[in-house]
Amino acid sequence: MSIFSPTMMKNRITDITVEDLKSLGIKGILLDVDNTLTKFHSQVLTKEVEQWLQTIANAGFKLTVVSNGLPKRVRPFTKKIGLESVSFSCKPSPLGFWRGAKRLGCSLKEVVAIGDQIFTDVVGAHIARVKVIQVMPIELETNRPSIMFKRKLEKRFNRRYIKKHGVEL
Ligand SMILES: [Mg+2]
């Protein structure tokens, strides 16, 4: 499998079902924040995402956050959702994923990362040797040229993946 291809692809994090997670044979989840759980740099948690987190936790999955954001951005949010976090994780470095898995008491085979960026979340998960579910970004950061460039590249990979795997988003 290509280092740019996720294990599974969904439109929104809330589209991931308990059955999807069970089919991956995992016990723990390493969550990205920006554009996965919230809009970029937002502290707002929508009711849908809050309910999803509750449903997943109730089904017995362990959750933690692994984010490239700085602690001052990540902690107030993770406190709100009652989760621990690894911030400033420097994805695609595998270290944050490894720390997150350890914190959950899971082996690398027992966790899945969920995130919206191919070059940090998907590639980093492959380097860390964990499964990864790629979601589409909640909002495009049109005021940030460097990210817009990455998003353009991502679109090509996404199109290829969608065609090959017959994904419906
Ligand atoms: Mg993100």
**Cα atoms in the 13 Å half-sphere on the side-chain side of 117:** 23
List per-block mean pLDDT (blocks of 10 residues) for the chain, which spans 169 residues: 95 98 98 96 95 98 97 96 96 98 98 97 98 95 84 94 93
In contact, 113 and 93? CB cutoff 8 Å: no
- pTM for the whole structure: 0.96
Which domains does the chain possess?
Answer: 8-165 (3.40.50.1000)
> Quick one: pLDDT at residue 141?
78
User: How far is Cα of residue 138 from the mean position of the Cα atoms in its chain?
Assistant: 12
> Quick one: pLDDT at residue 120?
97
> Quick one: pLDDT at residue 143?
80
**How many whole angstroms from 49 Cα to the centroid of ligand 1?**
15
Task: Report in angstroms the alpha-carbon separations of 36 from 91, 107, 117, 166.
Answer: 15, 23, 9, 22
- What is the Cα–Cα distance from 21 to 113, expressed in whole angstroms? 11
**How many whole angstroms from 134 Cα to the centroid of ligand 1?**
10
**How many whole angstroms from 81 Cα to the centroid of ligand 1?**
17
pLDDT tens per residue across span 94-130: 999 999 999 999 999 999 999 999 999 999 999 999 9
